[in-house]
Structure 1
Amino acid sequence: MVKRKAEITADALLDVIQGLIDEMPTVGQQRNRLDLDSRLERDLGLDSLARTELIARIKERFNLLMPDEGLLAETPRALLILMTQVAGVPGTQVTEARPSLPDSGVSAPTTASTLMEVLSWHLDHQPKRLHILHYGSDENPDELSYQDLWSGASRVASSLWQRSIRPGDRVALMLPTGESYFFSFFGTLLAGAVPVPIYPPTRPSQLEEHLNRHSRLLQNAGVRLLITIPAAHKVAHLLKIQVPSLRHIVDWNELDSGSGTPPSVLRQADDIAFLQYTSGSTGDPKGVMLTHADLLANIRAMGEAVQVTPDDVFISWLPLYHDMGLIGAWLGSLYFGMPLVVMSPLHFLAHPARWLWAIHHHRGTLSASPNFGYELCLNKVSEEEIAGLDLSSWRFAFNGAEPVTAATMQGFAERFEPYGFDGGALAPVYGLAESAVGLAFPPPRRGTVIDRINRDRFMLDGEAVPVSENDPDPMAVVGCGRALNGYQVQVVNGNNEPLPDRMEGRLEFKGPSATRGYFENPAATAKLFRDGWVDTGDRAYLADGEIFITGRLKEMIIRGGRNIYPYELEQQLGELDGIRKGCVALFPSSDPATGSERLIVLAETRETDQQRKARLRQAILERSTDLLGMPPDDLLLAPPHTVLKTSSGKLRRGAMRELYERGELGRRQRPLVLQVMSLLLSGMGRGLRSLYQRAKSYLFAGYAWMVFYILAPLVWLSVLLLPRLSWRWAVVRWAIRILRGLTATPLRVEGIENLPSADQPVILVANHSSYLDTLALIDGLPRDFIYVAKQELASKSYVRQFLQRLDTLFVERIDSRRSVMAVEEFASQLAAGRSLAFYPEGTFRAEPGLLPFRMGAFVAATQNGMPVVPVTIRGTRAILKSDSNFPHHGAVRIIIGAALEPKGDDWAESVRLKGVAREVIAHDCNERNLGFEDQVDLRE
């Protein structure tokens, strides 16, 4: 009987597999949870040669000679069963030694790497569990389970796919709160596309401004399809005129009638989940790129800070096109499996007490609002409306998204204490879209922390000096908690030097959910980062780890040597009788004569009597002088709806400043008909320019294909007839250069000196992004290679005959045994002095990104002692994508890296070579790294 070195157990086998994974960094960084039912290639990233190495290690560890069928095993369980058969051990003795890891006690999808995997987890564990209660037009809520969300999203995904939406395409959602939004958002994800939330216009009088703002945003995003509702369809068609990339505008009901079978789309953690455009994105749209990894990291960190459990209930009226409502409320509830009770913002604004009664009826534990929501409840809800109200279940009342005022927090706690509300539940928080949503949270049940500081010292020197309770004029700043676990913050001065506690400066952060930047806006992205730190754009100071936000950097006004922030004065002016509360704006304006900043106050009032308006004006001047030590330079009393706000209720001070300096602030809106005519004329101009560009593109595409189809038959026939291989390659290279010349396609080759001489066989490895890659290499490299191609290319006889005449080697990617045998063929060609060219990604796709490398080229290099030359190809994907037959004009660049010499002949050296080559190509190709698995099909 053969003596085994180790007992055959599930634990022992999984340890061997884990050891192999740990030696392959690009796999280890991305791997899913390892258990007996993990798929070796799809889940763990072990290609055919890695599985060959695994079989060798099984032989070494267990002294077992595994049959060829071991290469075909898809899971560790299948391997384990085969091992027991070879060893003659009853399978029942070993297969349950370490079963698949159970999910008992796991209350959240902790191993999920994408939002789709989060939903998949709930479908596997609790498909019928209540996910959403939606209050629509009546008082009876609609219920959605996880299964309902999956079914509705599947129908939308199928319909999007039928409309040629493909992975990476952007889809805009101009939808209200409701199942249309939930299904469309997740349906877009299931289709592999990127949702872009926007909000519909609220008033016809603002139609022109609304569309002008969103047309820039949608142009920046390159949106291909917009989902909306019938009521907004006419507005949406005006957008189509403004946005050339917009191909489809569909009612959500059309998408909801899809087949229900979603496309099989692979996505992964580093793919963009959605674009969150920051509040007030106008002339310079800033679409924050948020990946699935960013969202899940931030959601998990916030959940840890709040100590969330599935027993919590989140109550929300926040808009779903805003990060706090979308990520904090909905996606956070989805991840942690807690019910979400949701109503539209209008439902809340019409009757603020509905929010409080929803908390009462559903025993809500978590809820959030900007500061103005708490003010509405404090000032607009009568005692009669809340008789019998019980808020004792509310354990976290988040306040964020706009400046938090101490008076509001104190007033809310006092007003609702008789109704069971615990003031300790008030939780001012801080976050920004560039961090997904959350950055700083207070500990549970701590309540509001208010720092009272010397106003003059702070405004003159930026030093937050605490004052006593009897100080006559303190400045009150609310603390927003500490940075979430895993995040770092610092406050720096104008020279980017960290400041000590209680010194105000610019707030920066680092963390696992920090964005990669703004979509298609490199200039704004460059300003966002500094030495790995992200600039929040906010000013703040720290005190014992607590973050105190003092204002937006761009909204700070420097006047008479004093730093003035607008929030406190705006709040106090809003308290004046006759001024509309929340409708006061303070902003700077450049004085064209002196170049200095002027202080402008804009306040809305319904007063029309000139004497009363004069008294209001005097009261504003007096209060401004008392608070700031100086009067404003200009004071405007304006009718309602003059003060501009974002979709989330923030004041648009920058836009008001622009209108003021153009002399247009407060000017009455043009009639709706004139606004529509203006948009139509503007759209017609853009449409004509777009038509011209499209005509040029179609003419170029047709011309390029004509040239190709003239050359192709001649080249094919020549290659089949010419007797010498060198002659065949000469014809191919000649034809490629003619094609490139006639289509005016520049080719630049860099690093040609790194390519060894023709008598030195090498292994060339290149990234793969288009069918044009091989043409570029043949044209740009001054020597011939044997190209290694996938077996599928040989399925058509005319292609197979052509490639065989060029000595192409075909590799079987599916059959592991045949794939391993190809390594022997590589060795024979190298021994004959021939050089090989590989695309180690094995395939390519339309969406940019460097796929994982397979091991074949690197095993061949180490076993035969051949140098590896990493080559990067840029530009071919833009010319011809994998999912398109439409060529575009472009330029190609080839970068040849220094040759990499193998330092050994074992598996570890092959892994090292692969890692170094991939790092070189990843650096030069300027595309993101993709992991071994994009996304598991949710319903397989």
Structure 2
Amino acid sequence: MPSEPPFATAEQVKRLLEVISQLRREMHPANPGSITLDSSFERELGFDSLARVELVQRVGTAFGIQLPDDALSRAETPRDLLQFLEQPAQPKAEIVVVPLGGSSTVAQPHDARTLTEALVWHVDNQPDRVHVLLYDEKQAVQPISYRELFEAGRMIAGGLIERGLEPGQTVALMLPTGFDYLTSFIGVMLAGCVPVPIYPPTRLSQLEEHLRRHARILSNAGTVLMITIAEAKSVAVMIRAAVDNLVMVLTPQELAGAPTNQCFPARASDLAFLQYTSGSTGDPKGVMLTHANLLANIRGMGRAINASPEDIAVSWLPLYHDMGLIGAWLGSLYHGFPLVLMSPLAFLAQPARWLQAISRHHATLSGGPNFAYELCAHKIHDRDLKDVDLSSWRFAFNGAEPVSPATVSSFTDRFAQYGFRRAALAPVYGLAESSVGLAFPPIGRGPRIDRIEKEPFATDGVAVVAATDHKNVLQIPSCGRPLPEHEIRVVGEDGKELPERQIGKLEFRGPSATHGYYRNAQATKTLFHDDWLDSGDNAYMADGEVYLTGRVKDLIIRGGRNFYPYDLEEAIGELANIRKGCVAVFASADPIHGTERLVVLAETRERSSAALDSLRQRISQTAIDIIGTPADDIVLAPAHSVLKTSSGKIRRQACRQAYERGELSGKGTEAHPLPLKLWRNTGLARIRIKYRQLTAWLYGIYAWLVLLVLALPAGGLTIALQRPALGRRIVRTAARAGVRMLKLPLAITGLEHLPTEPHVLLVNHASYLDVLLLTALLPASPGYTFTAKRELSAQPLLKALLTGLGTRFIERTDVQQSMESVDVMVYALRSGENLLVFPEGTFSREAGLKPFHLGAFIAASRAGVPVVVAALRGTRVALRDGTWLLRHTPIDFEVGLSKKPVSSGWSEVVSLSQETRRAMLLLCGEHDASP
């Protein structure tokens, strides 16, 4: 064995190994193992990237020094760390505070159709404004103006054009955060090519293996050129041999040519870049994002957080990931606020730098994954927070991985004394298929944590609000509401939209949504359900906000990186003494650290401690080879421990649940009553689900038969007679018969509040079912004349039916005709009629009370008659817009109190509308969906 470095003392070696041994015991108490100076941090000790961060910090504390940032990437054994301990301390760089932000003399590029147009707009209007303040590895700062970014980008574009690249071709970027990355990305777009960001290697010693793992992505993308670091040139031949399309591997310095004046005039529909979501495993899935997608998302997020040029952002997020690339950099580029940018390595080496930068530059916007907040809450020493002031931080987004309520509390509690406000912390939701952002909470609201009962959640998929504080409670953070012009819904296994607080698959649509995966028709096909996109996540809605409960598939997120378990399971199954096809890889929540643990469950017949230790090391090395990170826990279990379906598929979620219950200790026997019990319970659950789906489908068919049998003769008579009073009686009789035959669970309250004098009855509108139910439920005396939007009168058959019922057609958009419609309503009220009006004017599939039209309130004021507030609950669920299968679900109709207008003045009408809206919100139970 190599001797210790000549400069290291025995005391230094002893102290270093003690620090490492303590961390190893904490992470793997059941298998601490022996540690030498040449033990591999990853292969033998199982330290992932976050564990290495903790190790570097502990070593620095133990020796009273600050290790350099690259110690994280260069040190692979304790011996490597010893060398860092003996290096002379580097002088601390003096950080120059560059003035940022302030009032901008120009607006934002609202008319820009592409990202390059947005950049050119800033170059034309404020070329010398600081766009990015870049911190390098020594914490020296480099301000980059819009002009400098554009001119350097033109040089990269010139180099691409000189080498014959054509618009539409893909160019891979494998660069660390820095000036070269920013200018190369812009240069590729200016040349009309498509950037393909891929993450750079964390350690140069693994560069060849890293490139091999990315060969499938580069092949799928059809990459013709890669822009990368100089060190990658040594293995360029290898990667070019693995990727048929790749013809050049160049550094930014080699690529830069004369600044081009031939910048490609991109269109909004052109592909802006490809964001690969599945990393190096599985089928590569490159999300296609157009300029229109990106600008819609950036504008939507900007509206959600009230972004302006006066903001200042700080980001350490990697630029190969959509949250750092779009949410931080491209968002700041469009909105015109400065971005303070540092590398992820700088943050991981010293998490305090993030908060120090926010304080130093009085930043208003910043964020990161949950693990970043966890690191700050527990791994920053008080001495590193001297003079830190976080009071300027108004929006601290937490996304890209599951948000831990424990982390939310620990972070807000720890940093409240430094000016951080809990109201600034905002769990958000997004995914690459929606560019990046999809749902944001209201600014300044703070995190909303839903406390729900465990049992209904686990057995029935229902989020029941916990009535008391007890141990069987789950805490689920809200991620807010969809961005403007975007929609979210939650659907069941049958694809039908679920009521609020029922867990199902989250689907979405909107202008940010991708059109599919690049050169992957099969994956694209599974992504779309009509015009809705499958997020791959489970969730529920409550009060119009989305609550994420887990991933539908087995996507595993660690430290902000995503991967799937399939390739790793297969590779581990090939190891000697591992039962092939009997390996499960899954993520398990770590309640202590607020992160996810990567767990490998593998079946083996080995029993000796030495053989099991050897197997664990080989599995750990295989994990590093396949996904670039070791497992947190390796469970070697006897045969039949890995749970499977009847068809032989691995049941990863069931394995995870058994692991978390402590039932996979690796000490089991060949008997397996637990799998048998789980198989039985799962089979019964499937039978129940199928039975519910079948009965719902049969009920829907029955409902349509009933409606057709009753509606056709009643409607035909009404059209033929054209006598409104008689027509209303005929239709009411048919409607009441239909309600009885459908056996809908109805609850009616407040009918005694209906006045005997003429009045306007105002009801919320949620479904096509509303008119049928109101016709059946409202008393014949006093009878009601319905109002309908004028567009319906353009359909001859429908017009004949509605006129046969005496319906009053009203205009909602044309000003002159709207006033005429008010006159019609006033005349009807003064003639003794009662009007039934839906003040929203229309309805849609998403929940929420929409803005009111004022026509009914003006008419009531002018006629001097009262308005009565009423509400229907449950009709949106029973027959949601866009669906035709009626659900058998409870429906409530409640009539509230009435109010008579005092005058017909404008302020009185507006006040009456607002008061009515507040009352209707309470009655209908939905959230306020007005802008």
- TM-score (normalizing by structure 1): 0.51
**Does the 8 Å contact 2:207/2:232 carry over to 1?**
no
The match for 1:231 is 231
The match for 2:215 is 215
Distance 1:356 1:243 in 2: 42
The match for 1:185 is 185
The match for 2:652 is none
Distance 1:224 1:626 in 2: 47
Distance 1:606 1:628 in 2: 14
Distance 2:375 2:305 in 1: 25
The match for 1:266 is 265
* 1:445-524 correspondence runs (5 A): 445-524=444-523
The one of 654, 664, 671 equivalent to 1:632 is: 664
The match for 1:287 is 286
Distance 1:300 1:461 in 2: 38
| Aligned: 1:584 with 2:616 | no
* 1:595-606 correspondence runs (5 A): none
Distance 1:535 1:426 in 2: 27
Q: Secondary structure at 2:144's aligned position in 1?
A: strand
Letter aligned with residue 366 of structure 2: S
* 1:177-576 correspondence runs (5 A): 177-204=177-204, 206-207=206-207, 209-256=209-256, 258-555=257-554, 569-572=588-591
User: After superposition, what is the alpha-carbon deviation per residue over 1:296-343, rounded to whole angstroms, capped at 9, x for unaligned?
Assistant: 000000000000010000100000000000000000000000000000
The match for 1:167 is 167
**CA shift for structure 1 position 140:** 2.2
Cα 1:223–1:329 shift into 2, 3 Å: same
**Does the 8 Å contact 2:297/2:511 carry over to 1?**
yes
**Does the 8 Å contact 2:267/2:291 carry over to 1?**
yes
Distance 2:555 2:139 in 1: 44
Distance 1:122 1:406 in 2: 40
Q: Secondary structure at 1:439's aligned position in 2?
A: strand
**Does the 8 Å contact 2:454/2:473 carry over to 1?**
yes
**Does the 8 Å contact 2:428/2:439 carry over to 1?**
yes
**Does the 8 Å contact 2:188/2:194 carry over to 1?**
yes
Aligned-pair identity in percent equals: 51
User: After superposition, what is the alpha-carbon deviation per residue over 1:721-761, rounded to whole angstroms, capped at 9, x for unaligned?
Assistant: xxxxxxxxxxxxxxxxxxxxxxxxxxxxxxxxxxxxxxxxx
Distance 1:606 1:268 in 2: 47
**Does the 8 Å contact 2:585/2:601 carry over to 1?**
no
Letter aligned with residue 347 of structure 1: A
The match for 2:678 is none
User: After superposition, what is the alpha-carbon deviation per residue over 1:867-902, rounded to whole angstroms, capped at 9, x for unaligned?
Assistant: xxxxxxxxxxxxxxxxxxxxxxxxxxxxxxxxxxxx
User: After superposition, what is the alpha-carbon deviation per residue over 1:597-654, rounded to whole angstroms, capped at 9, x for unaligned?
Assistant: xxx999979999x9xxxxxxxxxxxx99899556237599xxxxxxxxxxxxxxxxxx
Q: Secondary structure at 1:290's aligned position in 2?
A: strand
Letter aligned with residue 339 of structure 1: P
**Does the 8 Å contact 1:430/1:438 carry over to 2?**
yes
**CA shift for structure 1 position 586:** 4.3
Distance 1:161 1:565 in 2: 46
Letter aligned with residue 590 of structure 2: Q
Cα 1:556–1:519 shift into 2, 3 Å: closer
Unaligned 5+ runs, structure 2: 1-103, 557-583, 606-618, 624-628, 637-654, 669-931
Cα 1:606–1:432 shift into 2, 3 Å: closer
**CA shift for structure 1 position 590:** 11
Cα 1:205–1:474 shift into 2, 3 Å: farther
- TM-score (normalizing by structure 2): 0.51
**CA shift for structure 1 position 538:** 0.4
Q: Secondary structure at 2:437's aligned position in 1?
A: coil
| Aligned: 1:109 with 2:109 | yes
Distance 2:630 2:265 in 1: 52
User: After superposition, what is the alpha-carbon deviation per residue over 1:389-438, rounded to whole angstroms, capped at 9, x for unaligned?
Assistant: 10000000000000000000111000000000011000100000000000
Distance 1:243 1:324 in 2: 28
Letter aligned with residue 230 of structure 2: P
Unaligned 5+ runs, structure 1: 1-103, 558-563, 576-580, 593-599, 611-622, 637-940
Q: Secondary structure at 1:375's aligned position in 2?
A: helix
The match for 1:158 is 158
**CA shift for structure 1 position 387:** 1.4
Cα 1:590–1:327 shift into 2, 3 Å: farther
Cα 1:550–1:271 shift into 2, 3 Å: same
Letter aligned with residue 262 of structure 2: P
**CA shift for structure 1 position 388:** 1.3
**CA shift for structure 1 position 468:** 3.2
Cα 1:386–1:533 shift into 2, 3 Å: same
Distance 2:450 2:285 in 1: 33
**Does the 8 Å contact 2:586/2:656 carry over to 1?**
no
Distance 1:502 1:583 in 2: 25
Cα 1:453–1:427 shift into 2, 3 Å: same
Q: Secondary structure at 2:430's aligned position in 1?
A: coil
Distance 1:405 1:112 in 2: 38
Cα 1:174–1:236 shift into 2, 3 Å: farther
Cα 1:587–1:297 shift into 2, 3 Å: farther
* 1:115-134 correspondence runs (5 A): 115-134=115-134
User: After superposition, what is the alpha-carbon deviation per residue over 1:458-503, rounded to whole angstroms, capped at 9, x for unaligned?
Assistant: 1111111111342223111111111111011111111101111111
Letter aligned with residue 438 of structure 2: L
Letter aligned with residue 162 of structure 2: Q
**CA shift for structure 1 position 205:** 5.9
Cα 1:604–1:242 shift into 2, 3 Å: closer
Distance 1:529 1:588 in 2: 33
Letter aligned with residue 585 of structure 1: L
Q: Secondary structure at 2:589's aligned position in 1?
A: helix
**CA shift for structure 1 position 212:** 3.1
* 1:52-63 correspondence runs (5 A): none
Cα 1:173–1:405 shift into 2, 3 Å: same
Cα 1:224–1:456 shift into 2, 3 Å: same
Q: Secondary structure at 1:223's aligned position in 2?
A: coil
The match for 2:136 is 136
Distance 1:504 1:364 in 2: 37
The match for 2:881 is none
Letter aligned with residue 364 of structure 1: A
**Does the 8 Å contact 1:190/1:262 carry over to 2?**
no
Q: Secondary structure at 1:288's aligned position in 2?
A: strand
Distance 2:667 2:243 in 1: 38
Distance 2:327 2:633 in 1: 40
Q: Secondary structure at 2:366's aligned position in 1?
A: strand
Cα 1:552–1:634 shift into 2, 3 Å: farther
Count of residues in correspondence between the two structures: 500
RMSD, aligned CA = 3.2
**CA shift for structure 1 position 146:** 0.4
